[in-house]
Amino acid sequence: MQPDVSVINPKSLSHRVFLKGRARLFRSLQLSGELGYLWAPEVAYPTDLSQAVSFRARGSYSLRGGVAQVPLTVSFSGRVLDGKNDNFDLPGPGPVSNGARRAKNFERTDWGYDLTLTALPWASVALYGTFSQSGDEQDSDYVRTTLARSAGGGSFYIDSIPHYTSDLKSLIIGGTLSDLGGVNLGLSAAMTWAEMMASGASGVGSNIGQLINDANRIKSRILTLDSDFDYSIREGLVAGLGYRYQQFIDDAQLGPLNLDDAVHTIMLRLKLDL
């Protein structure tokens, strides 16, 4: 592919600015945040962002008295990124007026958060529960040419506008037992709900958008059971054993694919500190 018809630019240039802050309103409440802005005069790929705004936040609150004298800590974090790229030029022969050159558009919004509750009923025991969710949305016009670009290219036109979305949710409950006669033990159970799909805008270009709607979808539940055991044989020498069970449950059932599955994983560890 010659440089004059390549869809990858040889150079990229981007700038980022951040504004960060931290606050401790009370002894038990801590907050932090970060606000950022990105601008890129030159991008290398059509899915690189030329403009974007981002925000991150994190905080924790400790209940020293807790419930039934059990110390509790609530922590959270969140993030969001929103940006676009509307100046990625697809080169081709001839002027813009006859469709030989075209700017490819791309937009993305990415976000997520998690909330965790931790309890310390005893000095060597920690119990926790976490719920998290994340999402991603992307829009990009699928641009084609009437001729192969390496053979002259003809003119550009929009074939379809795919819209990709993902939504992931996860709930984790677990506990750890640490430093009990050289034994460390961890147990957890998690359920993840995953949904991803790409849809095409109707009435645009070819029928590829409708084909995407019919076939491109994943909707699954994932059950994960984790166990981890470590034993300190002597100072600097630790042996460990872990087991993980995962069950994948396909809720979309798009034949002929069958995404139902079960995976067993056994892990053996030997750690030596010299």
| pLDDT tens digit sequence for 22-44 | 998 888 899 999 999 999 988 88
| pLDDT score recorded for residue 182 | 87
| pLDDT score recorded for residue 96 | 46
What total number of domains does the chain contain? Answer: 1
Taking residues 209-213, what's their average pLDDT?
59
Confidence grade of residue 2 (pLDDT, cut at 50, 70, 90): very low
Nearest to 206 by CA among 139, 143, 140, 138: 143
- Mean per-residue pLDDT of the chain: 83
| pLDDT score recorded for residue 135 | 96
Question: Residue 153 is part of which domain span?
Answer: 3-272
Answer whether residue 147 shows pLDDT above 70.
no
Q: Which of 120-134, 170-184, 198-212, 227-241 has the lowest mean pLDDT?
A: 198-212
Taking residues 97-111, what's their average pLDDT?
72
Q: Which of 29-33, 84-88, 204-208 has the lowest mean pLDDT?
A: 204-208
Answer whether residue 144 shows pLDDT above 90.
no
